[in-house]
Amino acid sequence: MKATGVTVSKALRILRVGSFVFPLIASLIWGGLLYRDALDATRQHVLLQSQLIAQHVESQIETQLVLHRAIAARFATEPAEFVASSECQSFLAALVAAQPSLIRTQVLSLAGIVLSDSRIETRAGVIESALPSEHRVALASGEAMWIGREVSDTQDVILISSPITIPLGRAIALSIVDTKVLQGFLQDIAVRDGQGEAASLARKDGMLLMRNFDAPPTMLPETAAGRILPQRSEFGAFQTTAVTDGVTRIYGFRWGRGLPVFANFGVPKALVWRDFARQGAPVLALFALMGVFLWATVHRIGRALEDRFAREKIRERAEAAERLADQRIHLMRETNHRVKNNLALVVSLINLQVRGDKGLDADALKARIGAISHVHDLMYQSKDAVHVDFAAMLADIAASPAVVPQESGITVKTDLQPGILLGPDRITPLAVIAAELMTNAVKHAFPVGKGGVIHLRLQREAGGVRLDIRDDGIGLGRSVSRRSGSAIIDALVDQIGGNLVRDSVGGLHVTLHFTVD
């Protein structure tokens, strides 16, 4: 039960932690997936918006290029002097009138001299050109068209130029368009203008021509991502911090088909986070509630189980206390029984000596009681406080000065097989028998002042145990007193159900056979 309680306690701790960790991990995984989807949706949005801007710019520029081709076609049917005629001016003025966003159109030489103008009748070289030199350079380098923006105190216009052929040779057609026709579209497409959305039009050389709010043209740094990345592909998306306002956005770009400009559309990263929070908050709140509910449920179950195991532990302790009390009572009874038996044995030994011819022998009695004492010492030292190793007990008796005094000059040699465990009913009589036999050998086997050897051998044999006690003394035939204590030995041998054999050839050799359970 203790192991089960510990296991359940660990499981409850894991569940308590898991009730928070699992919803947290689930919410993080779900939040990561949702944020990834939000980023993907934003990338798709900016790409779509940049495509719409590019298409609008393409249509506006293509309208002017069609106008330029119309001018070239008309000039091809007229004589060379048509270029500077009032009829040409009227023709150009009619083209301007047909397009509300078109402010003015001119035809210029490659050197930038105005040949025809939609506003006034032209005498060559009189009207100042509106075409910046960058247009002439770009067209001279092979560009099919060029676009720029001119901002002054009086006007803000888009300049669209392209090369044409007239009777006088190669020339340049120029359309001057109101900036609002493009900027207005940028403002309309950036519907969240106040929240940082950015729409712009940039040229291939890095010139940021216009944005969805009033701002002059700006040349982007050469290291700006908005200048580098569009040079690598026709369209794409990227994240960067704008050099113009310092806002981190996700941008999409797309080049106009065959045009030297590309459209940009950017959404602030903060808007992505806001949209993510708006969409994810309900689900995250649900995960949080789920975690609280799981924790409360596990906590309640845990408390109930802990109370149950606490009651079980109290019951187990009570049962253990009862068992311990029963064991102590049993041990006390067993101890009393042993003491009673041992005292009875001591009384019997004393009675046997008192009834003998020589009366009470204090030394012999001391050896016999000492043997009983050795049994108790070994019994208390054993693992179960009951069984004693017979070999260890014999070794203790053989080494006891009460049995073999040191001054006797007698040596005890032992050959004892260990592991023969005996209970108190067998080991106590055997201890007295061994002590009695060895005491008799010490007293009667050797003449006074002459030492000798007593051999002690213990071994298992088929059906029981054999104990041999042999001395190299004078034997039985030379001293009747060797029968001293034999009555005690015979009585104890009968008590254990053993068989004792004496042989007096070359000293006394006593062999004891007995069985073990």
Residues 445 and 385 in one domain: yes
In this structure, the number of other CB atoms found within 10 A of the CB of residue 65 comes to 20
Query: What tokens does 16 get?
Result: 């308590």
Residues 280 and 394 in one domain: no
With beta carbons less than 8 A apart as the criterion, state whether 105 and 176 touch: yes
Q: Are residues 273 and 375 located together in one domain of the fold? A: no
Whether the Cβ atoms of residue 234 and residue 25 lie closer than 8 Å to each other: no
| Residue 43, in any domain of the structure | yes
Q: What CATH number does residue 18 fall under? A: 3.30.450.20
Ordered per-residue pLDDT tens for the chain, 517 residues: 455 556 666 766 777 677 667 777 877 787 788 888 889 999 999 999 999 999 999 999 999 999 999 999 999 999 989 998 999 999 999 999 999 999 999 999 998 899 999 987 544 444 556 689 999 999 999 999 999 999 988 889 999 999 999 988 999 999 999 999 999 999 998 876 567 899 999 999 999 999 998 899 999 999 999 899 999 999 999 999 988 788 899 999 999 999 999 999 999 998 888 877 787 777 777 777 777 777 777 778 878 877 888 888 888 888 888 888 777 776 666 555 556 666 656 666 566 556 555 555 666 666 666 666 665 665 556 566 678 899 988 998 888 887 888 888 889 999 999 999 988 788 888 888 888 888 888 888 887 767 889 999 999 998 899 999 999 888 875 444 444 467 778 888 998 899 999 988 888 999 999 998 7
On whether both 399 and 495 belong to a single domain, the answer is yes
Provide the b/e sequence for 286-299 (b: ≥16 CB within 10 Å): ebeeebeebbeebe
β-sheet bridge partners, residue 207:
219
Compute φ and ψ for 306, nearest 5 degrees.
Answer: -65, -40
Question: Is residue 150 assigned to a domain?
Answer: yes
Look at the chain and report how many structural domains it folds into: 2
pLDDT at 129: 64
| Edge-to-edge strand ranges of the sheet holding 464-471 | 410-416, 452-461, 464-471, 509-514, 499-503
368 and 248 part of one domain: no
In a domain, 348, yes or no: no
Structural domain contains residue 343: no
Q: Structural domain of residue 200, as residue ranges?
A: 1-319
138 domain-assigned:
yes
**CATH number for the domain harbouring residue 396:** 3.30.565.10
Task: Please identify, among 319, 346, 366, the residue that sits at the C-terminal boundary of a domain.
Answer: 319
- Predicted local confidence at residue 334, as pLDDT: 59
**Can you tell me the distance from the alpha carbon of 195 to that of 212, in angstroms, rounded to the nearest whole number?**
13
Q: Are residues 134 and 85 in the same domain?
A: yes
Residue 326 in domain = no
Sheet of 235-241: strand order equals: 218-219, 207-211, 198-203, 261-268, 248-255, 235-241
Token pair for 182: 């493009």
Q: Is residue 328 part of a domain?
A: no
Q: Please check whether residues 459 and 510 belong to one and the same domain.
A: yes
In a domain, 344, yes or no: no
Residue 236's pLDDT is 95
pTM, rounded to two decimals: 0.56
Q: Which pair of tokens denotes residue 183?
A: 């900027």
